[in-house]
Amino acid sequence: MNDIRRIAVVGAGQMGSGIAEVFARAGLDTIVCEKDPAALRAARGRIDRSLHRAVDRGRISPTDREDTWAHLLFADDLEALADRQLVVEAVVEAEHAKTDVLTTLDKILADDDAILATNTSSIPITRLGITTGRASHVLGLHFFNPAPVMPLVELVSSLHTDQAVLTRVEAFARDILGKHVVHSRDRAGFVVNALLVPYLLSAIRMAEAGHATPEDIDAGMVHGCAHPMGPLQLADLIGLDTVEAIARSMYEEYKEPLYAPPPLLSRMVEAGLLGRKTGQGFHTHHAV
């Protein structure tokens, strides 16, 4: 039986809220940590809506929903996480923000065997791990949005990650969370984004060049290739700022033109047109 029972998620945004819900639905003692009170309130609302949808669609029972809430706590101070066995960092996709969280947690966690996991989409795990004093216990645990629904997690080890730690987290993700685990080397983009992001950027370049409208680009891939969602719709869902950050990280590593963010993407991010979370990206989105 896996002994990881005390969990925390740092960051209460869309991904952090979803990851915390996954843990709590698995019956794990879960703390969501976010210093911004408004973000914590938003996370509660986001999780509540997600759980109600899960009940409405028959994925969980009303009793399961109540049990999930019984396993969730919310905190605004990292000091509250001192007794955690596993902490998942899910803050903004910016290296300085992630290293700040990880180095602070490294000092706070009381258990030398406690594991620090990052939900980064593209930042090298080795680079993040060496900023702490426990690089052997740092790894990537990359969930996909929406985390309570998507079955995949990418497990990424750094050059320093201990094999026993990797095995322990793999068993946890598979047996306790019920996720399908794929392994990746510590390369920017890992498996999924290394394939996905060039596709998204190609669609953005097509729209930028005026080859077709965003609506027709998306319709082409949905109705012509049986994709559940078009590439520009998907970019809006991920967040255009996140897509740009992943692209920059991959371009920095590989120096391949296909990874470079198109100018249109950068301008939209500068303008605050980030997709679904701001209501406007390549498409207009209405609050749910």
Angle at 92 between CA 91 and CA 98, to 5 degrees: 60
Structural domain for 140, as ranges: 6-184
Sheet bearing 180-184, strands edge to edge: 72-75, 29-33, 6-10, 86-89, 115-118, 138-143, 152-157, 180-184
Tell me which of 17, 119, 121, 122 is the catalytic residue: 121
Euclidean distance between CA atoms 91 and 118, whole angstroms: 9
Residue 13 and residue 142 in one domain: yes
In a domain, 287, yes or no: no
Share of the chain above pLDDT 70, in %: 99
Residue 80 and residue 208 in one domain: no
121 is catalytic: yes
Task: Look up the CATH number of the domain holding residue 260.
Answer: 1.10.1040.10
Residue 148 and residue 204 in one domain: no
In a domain, 240, yes or no: yes
Residue 40 and residue 17 in one domain: yes
Task: Look up the CATH number of the domain holding residue 108.
Answer: 3.40.50.720
Tens-place pLDDT, residues 164-209: 999 999 999 999 999 999 999 999 899 999 999 999 999 999 999 9
In a domain, 89, yes or no: yes
Tell me which of 34, 50, 71, 142 is the catalytic residue: 142
Tens-place pLDDT, residues 243-278: 999 999 999 999 999 999 999 999 999 999 999 999
Domain count, the chain: 2
In a domain, 266, yes or no: yes
Residue 201 and residue 170 in one domain: no
Tell me which of 154, 157, 184, 244 is the catalytic residue: 154
Residue 177 and residue 205 in one domain: no
154 is catalytic: yes
In a domain, 285, yes or no: no
